Structure 1
């Protein structure tokens, strides 16, 4: 299957947005310690990178699982491949975070986790933290709790005939959201799974079906669609009251869907430039970038706190560069070989 460079570039952009969101509070801390000035950027709602990830995930599951539809072994292969891809790096990041917290208790933003939260974190099961939030020990894993739900539903739907797979997953996601909307708040895990953000997976699947049926946009139309998506993101960053689950879904989710549509609807016939190939390589490492960037950011903050606390702007650039470099190294030397090894061992 040919590589969709636009989707890979968008994955890099999404992970970088999340990193920008997380680096800025650390820059503020440095500025406060040194008396320097630093004004965080609110140009975009940086955590909307997660919304882009979810729409991309819905698209990729349909696009890359073509051979598994109507296959007797499809559900097993799909779930094993997704677990081989997701579990090792997340478990490694969670374990590293726990070890760091033992050495530096201040690394935790809440009290020490109990056994239930530890178990839920490793099993991708939504649980309450000691601070009362529904998140795992390594808080970035809240998105993976949604991803695993989506994978479970998609894998189960692969038992159905090809035309029914996407409608069945969409109906299941919509039923969870409707139950939370009409009868909520529901107890965990249903109250967590029933948030409107899960509908972004359905949007990505719909875009994949459109592409499969021949939907394409020429260069000008693709840029127009992408531009509208960016404008909506900017509005989401500046309009009041856009942080509720439904308004966030309406703005950030629709923007993410437009960006994925633009990225996925090219003909794929033109050769990508060196810049696009480079960004696509970062996109390959986007999962690693999402999970390792807090370690790079916090490590660089401690270096700057000792050597250059009065340069928060330089810290931002250095931390983001370090996060990208660390992600590429982790992808090349841990994530990719571990995934391949596990797939061989699992027969997937």
Structure 2
């Protein structure tokens, strides 16, 4: 099934938002070393890119798996696709991070991880880090721990009659959140899985159902829905009390839902302008951009510091552009070949 270009654009913007969030502390270090002031931008809640990713993920799993509903062997086929898509690049980046930490321990910004944390990282299992946080060795992987939970539940749902798949997945997600909210805090992993943010997967699935039932937003209405989503994001960045577990889902998740509605339920076939095409290409590599950008950001920071370039704004521009270029190369030369290879291996291993 061909990707929907507007959703790819949304994925690109989500990944860039996360990169903007992460580049600013390093820019502040450059400014401090040069004796300059640096005011971080809070125009948007940049980590809301994660909320957008989760809603998009819920949509894509339904949209791209329509032929699997009610089919024998659907769960295995679905998991084969997702493992081949997610595991190779994440394991590669986790391994690279560990190797970099062995070579330059200061890069870890923490004590050396325990064996349990390393194993949990590779298995997408929530564990407590040496900093007391529930996150894997490569901290960005906390979102993938949620994604893998969703994939396992979705695969299990595909073993049910087609009409029950999405209600069952939604019910389990809601049950986890209700248990954590009403009886929590729960022990790991349930305390991690029961955070309200997982409901954004269900919201994305709901939008996919609406699209499948024929919902389309046209012209001014589509623009208005997208503008409302952007407005909610801006409000979430400037109003107090919008960053709690529930309030962030209401504000940032609500914005992500509106943006996903505009992207996923719009009219296709419109010839895009150049910047939209470019963003769609970046969207194809958004998973690589999400995982690769911290390496580029930190690496360029060290280069800029050693060259003595006291220009944080230039550094931000170079770091973001470099992250995009690196992501496109990783996507083209590693992610796509590795995905094809692992999918073939998993498919052949599961064949009778």
Q: Is the TM-score greater than 0.5?
A: yes
Contact 1:33–1:309 (CA under 8 A) maintained in structure 2: no
2:39 maps to what in 1?
39
1:52 maps to what in 2?
52
How many angstroms apart in 1 are the aligned matches of 2:2 and 2:136?
A: 36
- What per-residue deviation string (whole Å, max 9, x for no partner) do you get for residues 265-316 of structure 1? 1121222233222111100000000000000000100111011431001000
2:155 maps to what in 1?
155
- Secondary structure in 2 aligned to 1:207? helix
Q: TM-score, normalised by structure 1?
A: 0.99
Alignment of 1:69-148 (within 5 A): 69-148=69-148
Q: Identify which range, 273-282 or 309-318, moves more after superposition.
A: 273-282
Matched, 1:293 2:315: no
How many angstroms apart in 2 are the aligned matches of 1:37 and 1:204?
A: 41
Matched, 1:238 2:203: no
1:170 maps to what in 2?
170
Contact 1:180–1:191 (CA under 8 A) maintained in structure 2: yes
Alignment of 1:2-21 (within 5 A): 2-21=2-21
How many angstroms apart in 1 are the aligned matches of 2:170 and 2:47?
A: 24
Matched, 1:280 2:283: no
Contact 1:117–1:137 (CA under 8 A) maintained in structure 2: yes
Cα RMSD, aligned residues only: 0.9
Matched, 1:327 2:327: yes
1:65 maps to what in 2?
65
1:307 maps to what in 2?
307
1:248 maps to what in 2?
248
- What per-residue deviation string (whole Å, max 9, x for no partner) do you get for residues 167-226 of structure 1? 110000000000000100000000000000000000000000000000001021111001
1:259 maps to what in 2?
259
2:342 maps to what in 1?
342
- What per-residue deviation string (whole Å, max 9, x for no partner) do you get for residues 119-177 of structure 1? 00000000000110000000000000000000000000001111111111000000000
1:317 maps to what in 2?
317
| Gaps in structure 1 of 5+ consecutive residues | none
Q: TM-score, normalised by structure 2?
A: 0.97
**Offset of residue 241 of structure 1:** 1.6
Q: Which runs of 4+ in 1 moved over 2 A?
A: 271-275
How many angstroms apart in 1 are the aligned matches of 2:3 and 2:319?
A: 29
- What per-residue deviation string (whole Å, max 9, x for no partner) do you get for residues 234-282 of structure 1? 1111111211101101100000000000001112122223322211110
How many angstroms apart in 2 are the aligned matches of 1:248 and 1:16?
A: 19
**Alignment length (residue pairs):** 348
